[in-house]
Amino acid sequence: MANDERELLRGSTPTLALAVLKDEAQHGYAIAREVNRRTEGALKFKQGTLYPVLHALERDGLIAGQWEHLDGERPRKVYTITSAGRVELTRRTQVWQRFSGAVSSVIGTSEGGAGHEQPA
């Protein structure tokens, strides 16, 4: 992954985590795996990227973590989106849609679209 892609991912990590958690409670590794699955491998989280974001979301009350102790397995923290997290996800989704639409209108997203020179 290129540096610019890493920067975009880092800025989008909280939104992606909230989006995954809106569907069901997950532990950190499962969140990372689900993002990877949904993006067909295009986005991959490293532990150093995801866990600080999860801690910040929890501190801000957007997710709640609870330790799960399963027989024969290490304890793991499972995160659930809160009602405040759902509101924030809606807000972030709207911001992203406006932003990505604006960028697309400048750089163009299809052959012959805005940002592409047409032959004379």
**Residue 62 near residue 81 (C-beta atoms within 8 A):** yes
Q: Where are the domains of the chain?
A: 3-107
Q: Report the CATH fold assignment for 3-107.
A: Arc Repressor Mutant, subunit A (1.10.10)
pTM assigned to the model: 0.80
Amino acid at the residue 23: D
If one counts every other C-beta atom within 10 angstroms of the C-beta of residue 66, the result is: 9
The two structure tokens encoding residue 111: 């052959």
User: What is the chain's pLDDT, residue by residue, as a tens digit (120 residues)?
Assistant: 566 555 665 678 999 999 999 999 999 999 999 999 999 988 888 767 899 999 999 999 999 999 998 888 889 999 999 999 999 999 999 999 999 899 999 998 665 544 445 554
H or E segment at 78? strand 76-81
